[in-house]
Amino acid sequence: MSGSGERGGLARGLRLWFAPERIREEGRTPDYRFSLANERTFLAWLRTALALVGGGFAVDQFLPELRWGVRVALALALLGAGALCALRAVNHWVRAERAMRRGEDLPVSRFPVLLGLLVGAVAAAMVLVVLLGRLR
């Protein structure tokens, strides 16, 4: 696909975030059960985003004994992951709905792997923080 076509597709996709009724202009209406499953997946991503944001605030507020730079880095990693996760939820919902209406394969993404690696890295850092705190 050409560069301008990709930008046009991206712009159209972003417009669908704010006018989801326009998605009905594409393809055929899928079985409602699939659309509802797509919505449940969207809500699961939002719950994950909220948990990440809550974890980021918890690290910042409830670990004051942690060195400032470490605490802020961990908190920002979780808060940023939460923000990205929320945005990705909307994007994935639109892409999956469009694919179902067009009879295409559902979109694939590396985002779940990246999110898992980030959360795993933060968890590993927190394990070190706990262990080092107990050794003192």
For 71-99, what is each residue's pLDDT tens digit?
999 999 999 999 999 999 999 999 999 99
pLDDT band at 46 (very low <50, low <70, confident <90, very high): very high
Q: Are 101 and 26 in contact (CB under 8 A)?
A: yes
Looking at the predicted structure, is the pLDDT value of residue 63 above 90? no
Report pLDDT for 1. 40
CA distances to 5, 126, 130 from 15, in Å? 15, 39, 45
Kindly list the domain boundaries of the chain, sorted by start residue. 3-135
Tens digit of each residue's pLDDT (9 = 90 or more) over 113-130: 999 999 999 999 989 988
pLDDT of residue 9: 66
- Whether the CB-CB separation of 107 and 95 falls below 8 Å is answered with yes
pTM: 0.81
Distance CA 130, CA 136 (A): 10
Which residues, including other chains, have CB under 8 Å from residue 119's CB and lie 6 or more apart? Answer: 52, 81
**How many whole angstroms separate alpha carbon 122 and alpha carbon 77?**
8
pLDDT at 31: 92
